[in-house]
Amino acid sequence: MQEPCHSSDAIPSAPILVHVCHGESILKAGLIALLAACPQVRLVAPVGADVIVTDYADALARLKHATHRGARLMVISQREREWDIRTAISAGVHGYLPQRCAADELLMAVQMLGRSQRYFNPELLERATQHVASNNLTSRESQVLALLAQGCCNKRIAIELDIGVGTVKTHVKSLFNKLGATARTHAVVLATQRGMVSSGLA
């Protein structure tokens, strides 16, 4: 966060109930201090929160297991690669900010999520959108690529995605054509260079 939070002239009658749950303890402490100083926000436990501000992995886990209880999920993360952003959006997060964002952008994002809207950092969203257009991978191809990057064999991918091994081979061949790759390892290297697979950051 780059700037101190400041209050708005028009304070809503009902504060936005926010829970901060981030894997990086120092960042979490800073977020709590920042949001606690804002009259538009009330910090609460996760149950009953309007907005949960969290990290990438926690947000996706909450969506996968439906443990966010209707709260809108705001991700703050070092992950700025196109693949990570697209994965988060596809999973259903409601907001995404880079860890380097300014305090004012964070507050604006929290307010928008509190009004049942979405907010994605414009720079990251544009980058992800442009990359989707340039690579034109289908949703299934993206899933196969992610599993390839984890070192999964065709049989393992078939099990994970509940599809046939022959179908996996078809998707892998299509990936090779779209990426210009000659082998599985080559495809993963190219995808990593282009920001299409996870960087492993929080």
Same fold, 16-130 and 136-193: no
pLDDT reported for residue 75: 97
Write a three-state SS string for the chain: CCCCCCCCCCCCCCCEEEEEECCCHHHHHHHHHHHHCCCCEEECCCCCCCEEEECHHHHHHHHHHCCCCCCEEEEEECCCCHHHHHHHHHHCCCEEEECCCCHHHHHHHHHHHHCCCCEECHHHHHHHHHHHHHHCCCHHHHHHHHHHHCCCCHHHHHHHHCCCHHHHHHHHHHHHHHHCCCCHHHHHHHHHHCCCCCCCCC
Whether the per-residue pLDDT at 10 is higher than 60: the answer is no
Residues 6+ apart with CB under 8 A from 192: 149
For the chain, give the percent of residues with pLDDT over 90: 60
Tokens of residue 164, six digits: 């046939």
| Per-domain residue ranges of the chain | 16-130, 136-193
CA angle 170, 173, 175 (to 5 degrees): 110
The CATH class, in words, for 136-193 is mainly alpha
Give pLDDT tens digits for 116-171.
999 999 999 887 776 555 567 888 998 999 999 999 999 999 999 999 999 999 99
pLDDT at 8: 45
Give which of 97, 67, 61 is closest to 79, Cα–Cα: 97
CATH number of 16-130: 3.40.50.2300
Contact 60, 87 (CB under 8 A): yes
The structure's pTM equals 0.64
Q: Two tokens at 171?
A: 């998707």
Which residues make beta-bridge pairs with 108? none
- Residue 105's pLDDT band (boundaries 50, 70, 90)? very high
